[in-house]
Amino acid sequence: MDGKIGLEEHFAIPETLQDSAGFLAESVWGELSKRLIDIQEYRLREMDKHGMQMMILSLNAPAVQAIFDKKRANEIAIRANDFLAEQVAKRPDRFQGFAALPMQDPEMATKELTRCIKELGFKGALVNGFSQVDHAENVVYYDAPQYAEFWKVCEQLDAPFYLHPRNPIPSWSQIYAGHPWLMGPTWAFGQETAVHALRLMASGLFDKHPCLKIILGHLGEGLPYSIWRVDNRNGWVNEEKAYPAKRKLGDYFQENFYLTTSGNFRTQSLIDAMLEIGSDRILFSTDWPFENVDHASIWFDQTSISTADRQKIGRTNAIDLFKLKL
């Protein structure tokens, strides 16, 4: 399929490049770092070979979210966003941008999101999970009360918010002790992000802001397969729900969330996600440069879904969600 649009597609600036070291074997760091720094050459050639018209680019992880100092986090976010805006301006027909945000400080994050949407023309934000504030052990999730104004503005701007994974902090990672292979995309990324998403659903956020749009990668971090059980476990027990949200969490999952195919190129998983939230809420992505454009594209172009669904997931859902003028 030609004309595909991907929206979990990463880059790095010199200040954040080393954040991606260690996720893959040291022997491929030279290749991975080259892919992260490049935007206009190697990346475009891969896109051209495999029918990708556009990537919506985002900063690598954890980057800004792992900078304890609020002022420094804000400086790096602004630097990355300004760099990205320059790159998009060179080829706006091939690239658009997601804002990096200093979520350590909700006021700074709100200001930077507003700037990126209104002045830089970005299409939303991508945030790498929880943020660490002041020191390594102080972790904040975005269902916390101090983010009320941020979410209000996010809804007003109609800015989709991509909740991207990061590993749990070491002191919270005992379950992975002795099994480092379970960290990162193998398992810890998905578990961490799914819990964060469930916290947002349960907090009542979407009762207050029903038009918020949250994006999850990797076909939903396991949630399509698990969301029914979240709402229906021990169904014979008549008990009050233990969270503020007014509705079942699955309702918010179906109405406020979008999923991408990034890094999860399996037809059975795609069909499960389609059955859970519908093909109108699933979008193609590759997870470049950590995954290959060819692996994502060859699978997607051949996967056993209808032509109409392939067109929606591969292209038109992104055009509609981000109001792209192609």
| Ordered structural domains, the chain, with CATH | 4-322 (3.20.20.140)
Give 86-130 pLDDT, tens digit per residue: 999 999 999 999 999 999 999 999 999 999 999 999 999 999 999
Q: Which residues pair with 282 in a beta bridge?
A: 259
Cis peptide before 102 (omega within 30 of 0): no
The sheet that has 257-260: what strands, in order across it? 125-127, 161-163, 214-216, 257-260, 282-283
Q: Residues 19, 105, 143, 287: which is the catalytic one?
A: 287
Work out the pLDDT band at 235, boundaries 50, 70, 90. Answer: confident
Main-chain dihedrals φ then ψ at residue 201, nearest 5 degrees: -60, -45
Nearest in space to 50 (alpha carbons), one of 284, 295, 285: 295
Please say if 134 is a catalytic residue: no
Give the helix/strand (H/E) hosting 259. strand 257-260
- Tokens matching residue 318: 């992104």
CA distance 251 to 217: 19
Cα torsion through 42, 48, 54, 60, rounded to 10: -30
- What percent of the chain shows pLDDT beyond 90? 95
Which residue type does 287 have? D
Main-chain dihedrals φ then ψ at residue 68, nearest 5 degrees: -65, -40
Give 4-62 pLDDT, tens digit per residue: 999 999 999 999 999 999 888 899 999 999 999 999 999 999 999 999 999 999 999 99
Q: Report the pLDDT value the prediction gives residue 119, as an integer from 0 to 100.
A: 98
